[in-house]
Amino acid sequence: MKFDLSQLTEQEILPPTAKRKIYERVALKIREFVGSPLNLPLDPWKLAERMHLKVVDIDQISGLSPEARKVLLNDDSRGWSGATTMPLPNGWRLVFLNKNQSRERQAATLMEEVCHVILGHSPTQLMPSVGEGTRFRNFNQAQEEAAFAVGAATLIPYASLKFFLKQEIRTDQIARHFRVSRDLVIYRIKVCRLWQEYKHLAQSA
């Protein structure tokens, strides 16, 4: 399956709501930047490197207490998943991911962190240092929502998702194709207002 954007209408490329249209347009620009077709999976690790983000193992952070390490390396899918430092003197940033979570969850987290940088998110204050001057972003609900939404749209483009559902391809198959979790596919179905297509697919399974 290949997409020729010149042959698709805006309705076919963009979700129906105003906010999701904005997020999707940014996601399309990211895909265009890396030359990634809408029907193929995008590798967040390669994109991160192009954006001067270096993924670092949490074990490389010095000075962490056993309690902090336990929190940062939890295996709860709803627990802490990752964080990005402020720019280092050489312009690069470090990204720390929870290696105990699935590769698919890490992909979504890393894509979210990449989008924070692309969207120019900067905190109004800094979180406390965790050792050797490593400082992370503080939590900002609006920024988190935008970065996650754009990241998810980049990983699972609306046009592709709608096409797959019309072809009655199951959500687990869509997840494997884009190398993401099924939960992320369901999230995209909900926010993109594709629930009727999904319900039809679920009922016919």
SS3 83: strand
* Radius of gyration of the chain measured on its C-alpha atoms: 18
Cβ-proximal residues to 21 (8 Å cutoff; 6+ apart), any chain: 14, 15
Query: So what's the pLDDT on residue 52?
Result: 95
Give residue for tokens 């964080």: 83
DSSP symbol at 85: B
CA distance 44 to 179: 10
Q: How high is the pLDDT of residue 76?
A: 59
Per DSSP, the chain holds a count of helices (H) and strands (E) of 10, 3
Q: For residue 25, give the amino acid letter.
A: R
Q: How far apart are CA 35 and CA 8, in angstroms?
A: 18
Residue pLDDT tens, the chain, 205 long = 555 656 777 778 999 999 999 999 999 999 999 999 999 999 999 999 999 999 987 776 666 666 666 656 666 556 667 788 888 899 999 888 888 888 999 999 999 999 999 999 875 433 444 444 444 555 578 888 999 999 999 999 999 999 999 888 999 999 999 999 999 999 999 999 998 777 766 655 5
Calpha distance 68→195 (Å, rounded)? 39
Measured distance CA(198)–CA(200) in Å, rounded: 5
Q: Which H or E element spans position 56? A: strand 53-56
CA distance 140 to 168: 38
Q: What is the DSSP string of 145-186?
A: HHHHHHHHHHHS-HHHHHHHHHTT--HHHHHHHHTS-HHHHH
Rounded Cα–Cα distance for residues 175 and 185 (Å): 6
